[in-house]
Structure 1
Amino acid sequence: MLIHPWDAARSTAEWQRWLAAHDFGQLAVNGLPGEPPFVQPTHFAYDPSAGGEFGEAVAHLARPNPLWPALDADPHVVLSVVDDYAYVPGPWQALPGAPAEHATPTSVYTAVQLRCTAHVVDDPEEKAALLNRQVGHFQPPGLSATVAVGEVPYGRMLAGIRGIRLEVIGVRAKFKYAGHKPDEVQDRIASGLAERGAPGDAAALAGQRRRRQEA
């Protein structure tokens, strides 16, 4: 992923705040020799205080998932999360004094890629603890029973899954919101997103406004 200086995260706290509100991504696992990578959509729970410098994410997948042999062979993976995106028509990007029809269209978005070392969790007690971390993140309080080995309702299901602890060892974060463009252009993009109101436009506009306010 190309990251220009004006699109880069300004701090670790910036991408961690964004990731705290985005907990669905794609886990990319290197394929076995001669095979393409596996890309697995998955919910995950990220904890910046767990693990090492960059925190840890946890997830789980069904035992029959075909990616396990590849993950066992190579635990180096990438968890990719992209959101708050929108298409920007060329005229919105026209520089002052330039013909609007000559301007180049683009996309705006946020992308965070976590480079991780994956640790497969098969011990029943450890899987139960991992699932409780996920349940605690996603479920409203009081709406789910605790996961415990040998106990209803989830204990008997533990054998059907494998847990994954994703130890984050590197991060690439990009906030692409035309931050290098003149104010006139950024204002035009903001107005266009607000007026169009297509799916995703409000989130993209919020991302652009936040970046400008914090610049």
Structure 2
Amino acid sequence: MYLPRLFQEQDPERLLAFMRRHSFATLVTMEDDVPFATHLPFLVEPGAAGPGGRLLAHMARANPQWRAFSQDRDVLVVFQGPHTYVSPSWYVTEPNVPTWNYAVVHAYGRPRVIEEPEECLRILRESVATYESGFEKPWSLEQVGDYAQRLLPGIAAFELRLSRVEGKFKLNQNRAPEDRRAVMSLLERSEEPEQRAVGALMRERDT
């Protein structure tokens, strides 16, 4: 992606935390020179914010995308964070034009389909445990006995060994400090959760 130096995010821990927080991401592949996208929850393993890290996921075997996986070509996973329109009227200095503040991480790597039943089950268990962890009474895969095992033929699990991870946090870094503070303050006080989330990212980036 287009990545001006001012907007680059290179801190591995910050990238890892971002990918985990926004783990419902978009997998993009190419088939016959045509882009194909699937929206999936990903498991983001420790170390996944840099080359050599790993992402894990699964999709319906009826989805043809996994058949296009190749060990000779990277795929792209897009982790989209909060974003918001920024009005010129929010700045202190003049003249100005509108812009958009946002944060996104692009992860590139070679996919491999996982055929081993036990490894597929492990990915399912970890996925459930990850997304149930905040509940008062977390549900577990074991509660359905061998039902999950019977579903395995309809699932294509895969891993993605990462070759490159790019973070772009476009948060008014190209503006004067007083403009950044004005936008950040307004967003932090907003009634819109998405805008408050962008304001929180700006505050984190400025500290």
TM band (smaller chain): 0.7 to 0.9
Work out the number of aligned pairs and report it: 204
**In terms of mean alpha carbon deviation, does 54-63 or 44-53 score higher?**
44-53
Pairwise CA RMSD of aligned residues? 2.4
In the TM superposition, residue 46 of structure 1 has moved relative to its aligned partner by: 0.3
Give the equivalent residue in structure 1 for 2:23: 23
Aligned to 2:41: 43
Q: Secondary structure at the match of 1:180?
A: coil
**What is the DSSP-based 3-state SS (H/G/I as helix, E as strand, rest coil) of the residue aligned with 1:48?**
coil
Residues 147 and 44 (structure 1), Cα distance of their counterparts in 2 relative to 1, 3 Å cut: farther
Structure 1 counterpart of 2:5 = 5
Counterparts of 1:30-179 in structure 2, within 5 Å, are 30-31=30-31, 33=32, 35-49=33-47, 53-72=51-70, 75-93=73-91, 95=93, 98=94, 102-140=95-133, 142-146=138-142, 152-179=146-173
Residue 27 of structure 2 contacts residue 39 of structure 2 at CA under 8 Å; is this kept in 1? yes
Give the counterpart letter for 1:19 in structure 2: M
Give distance in 1, aligned partners of 2:111 and 2:49.
12
- The corresponding residue for 1:192 is 186
Q: Radius of gyration: which is bigger?
A: 1
Task: Determine the C-alpha separation between the residues in 1 that align with 2:198 and 2:86.
Answer: 10
The structural deviation recorded for 1:50 is 6.9
SS in 1 for 2:197: helix
User: Is the 2:51–2:165 Cα contact (8 Å) retained in structure 1?
Assistant: no
Residue matched to 2:205: 211
Tell me: CA distance 1:94–1:74, structure 2 relative to 1, closer, same or farther (3 Å).
Answer: farther
Q: 1:122 to 1:21 in 2, by over 3 A?
A: same
Taking every aligned residue pair, what percent have the same amino acid on both sides?
25
Shift of 1:74: 5.7
Letter in 2 for 1:41: H
* Residues 89 and 105 in structure 1, CA contact (< 8 A), matched pair in contact too: yes
Shift of 1:54: 4.3
Q: Which runs of 5+ in 2 are unaligned?
A: none
Q: Which runs of 5+ in 1 are unaligned?
A: none
CA distance in 2, matches of 1:120, 1:53: 19
1:50 & 1:90 partners in 2: Cα distance?
A: 37
Q: Secondary structure at the match of 1:30?
A: strand
Are 2:144 and 1:181 equivalent residues in the alignment? no
The TM-score normalised by the length of structure 1 is: 0.85
